[in-house]
């Protein structure tokens, strides 16, 4: 790739540059041999590359995509604990994980901070750890990745509710908040046997021990229904007032979608049934599914298949969940399978999640949008069945 190094700064392109000879992936088509002009860190124009016109960067026929937006990432959690008992410093894990995001063409990431007290998930999710994650994410302000927080509230956790109230009381902007209830027997684990199998594999419990643990967990959480109502009332009040952007996690029915809409929910995340996904789209909600679900060809919990929902036109965005590299791979896999065209597939990991997060300044190769760009070789050009990220260009946006 030809680059005029005199105009580049270390780690990031300049605010003004011209990228030429790329295949620009627009919202509805691919523009071959395109030129992308950037001014002040924003896209100025996208047009066919005129003969004889030079460029600061020669894209050499690579696909040019908007930088990927990951609206739900728990990958930092796994980066911190690569092996059981091998916990790493959180600040180092953040730096290491940022490299994986860049390699996956992710330029905007929402890191999950679980305001809950949970057992049996490797690193124990706790309110104290959630607040540490928030502090580390907020402190990461360089130009490599635009980091944000996805506040995840367990609606049956009184400590989590109290901490999130405090956290959002002084925060500016419109926070993205996901509310969830992972009590076995409903939602993600509607069939509790899937959670029991998880415990057998992750914690080496016997089948009997796992069943007894789930019985105890259900009984314990059933004693917190008053906390659940308080949390839902508070979240709904803030959402309807426009103070937060509320995400409904793991909705399982059309009835539940109706309840979410009444509460002020803006996004349906990981619906577990076709009926819930269809109802969400009928109500105008964006629908987010997991990229790993696409790559596997189905849900590991026996829930709705992301591929089937995409084929029915019920998905507007994909999230990495825990695998950043899965975003781009899943988009190309959907296109390769003929379920959607490549521009629409790319939209599921760019403009779709941007809209779900309420970010209108990125996700498309349109004039005025942020010049967060990725140059990608499709599988056939990369000598593999999977796409390969060649370069990520994320210029600082001038004020």
pLDDT value of position 230: 95
Residue 383 has pLDDT above 80, yes or no: no
Domain boundaries, the chain: 5-65+365-394, 68-357
**Which architecture, in CATH terms, is 68-357?**
Alpha-Beta Barrel (3.20)
Fold of the 5-65+365-394 domain: Urease, subunit C; domain 1 (2.30.40)
The arithmetic mean of pLDDT across residues 79-89, rounded, is: 88
Is residue 327 within 8 Å of residue 347, measured between CB atoms?
no
**Confidence band (pLDDT; 50, 70, 90) for 399?**
very low
Beta bridge partners of residue 315, listed in sequence order: none
Burial of 25 from C-beta contacts in 10 A (0-12 / 13-18 / 19+): buried
Pick from 289, 294, 374, 392: which is nearest to 336 by CA? 294
pLDDT value of position 174: 87
Residue 36 has pLDDT above 80, yes or no: yes
Among 42-51, 66-75, 190-199, which is the least confidently predicted range?
190-199
Angle at 40 between CA 172 and CA 347, to 5 degrees: 70
pLDDT tens digit sequence for 111-150 = 999 998 875 444 568 999 999 999 999 998 776 899 999 9
Mean pLDDT value across the chain: 88
d(CA 221, CA 228): 10
The arithmetic mean of pLDDT across residues 160-189, rounded, is: 83
pLDDT tens digit sequence for 1-29 = 544 433 443 345 678 999 999 999 999 99
pLDDT tens digit sequence for 275-318 = 999 999 999 999 999 999 999 998 877 789 999 999 999 999 99
Query: Other C-beta atoms within 10 Å of 368: how many?
Result: 10
Parallel, antiparallel or unpaired: strands 42-48 and 372-377: unpaired
Assigned token pair, 174: 């419109």
SS (H, E, C) the chain: CCECHHHCECCECCCCEEEEEEEEECCCCEEEEEEEEEECCEEEEEEECCCCCCCCEECCCCEEEECEEEEEECHHHHHHCCCCCCCCCHHHHHHHHHHHHHHCCEEEEEEEEEECCCCCCCCCCCHHHHHHHHHHHHHCCCCCCEEEEEEEEECCCHHHHHHHHHHHHCCCCCEEEEEECCCCCCHHHCCHHHHHHHHHHHHCCCHHHHHHHHHHHHHHHHCCHHHHHHHHHHHHHHHHCCCEEEEEECCCCHHHHHHHHHHCEEEEECCCCHHHHHHHHHCCCCEEEEHHHHHHCCCCCCCCCHHHHHHCCCCCEEECECCCCHHHHHHHHHHHCCCCCHHHHHHCCCHHHHHHHCCCCCCCCCCCCECEEEEEECHHHHCCCCCEEEEEEECCCCC
The arithmetic mean of pLDDT across residues 359-377, rounded, is: 97
pTM score above 0.85? yes
């Amino acid at each position: 790739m030809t680059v005029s190094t005199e105009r580049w700064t270390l780690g990031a392109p300049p605010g003004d540059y011209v990228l030429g000879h790329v295949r620009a992936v627009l919202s509805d088509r691919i523009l071959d041999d395109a030129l992308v002009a950037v001014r002040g860190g924003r896209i100025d124009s996208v047009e066919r590359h005129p003969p004889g016109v030079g460029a600061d960067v020669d894209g050499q026929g690579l696909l040019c995509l908007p930088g990927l937006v990951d609206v739900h990432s728990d990958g930092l959690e796994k980066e911190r604990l690569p092996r059981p008992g091998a916990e790493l410093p959180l600040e180092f894990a953040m730096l290491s994980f940022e490299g994986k995001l860049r390699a996956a063409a992710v330029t905007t990431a929402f890191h999950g901070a679980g305001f809950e007290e949970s057992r049996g998930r490797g690193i124990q999710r706790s309110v104290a750890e959630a607040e540490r994650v928030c502090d580390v994410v907020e402190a990461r302000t360089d130009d490599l990745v635009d980091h944000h927080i996805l506040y995840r509230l367990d609606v049956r956790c009184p400590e989590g509710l109290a901490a999130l109230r405090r956290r959002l009381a002084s925060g500016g902007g419109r926070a993205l908040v996901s509310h969830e209830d992972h009590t076995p027997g409903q939602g993600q684990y509607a069939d509790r046997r899937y959670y029991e199998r998880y415990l057998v594999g992750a914690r080496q419990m016997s089948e009997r021990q796992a069943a007894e643990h789930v019985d105890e967990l259900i009984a314990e959480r059933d004693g917190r229904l008053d906390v659940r109502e308080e949390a839902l009332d508070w979240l709904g009040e803030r959402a309807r007032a426009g103070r937060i952007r509320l995400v409904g996690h793991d909705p399982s029915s059309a009835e539940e979608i109706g309840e979410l809409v009444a509460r002020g929910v803006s996004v349906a995340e990981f619906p577990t049934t076709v009926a819930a996904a269809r109802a969400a789209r009928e109500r105008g909600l964006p629908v987010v599914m997991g990229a790993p679900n696409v790559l596997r060809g189905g849900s590991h919990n026996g829930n709705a298949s992301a591929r089937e929902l995409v084929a029915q036109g019920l998905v507007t965005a994909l999230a990495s969940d825990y695998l950043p590299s899965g975003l781009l791979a899943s988009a190309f896999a959907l296109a390769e399978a003929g379920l959607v065209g490549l521009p629409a597939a790319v939209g599921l990991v760019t403009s779709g999640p941007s809209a779900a997060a309420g970010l209108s300044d990125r996700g498309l190769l349109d004039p005025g949008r942020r010049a967060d760009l990725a140059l990608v070789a499709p599988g056939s050009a990369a000598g593999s069945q999977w796409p390969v990220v060649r370069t990520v260009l994320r210029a600082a946006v001038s004020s």
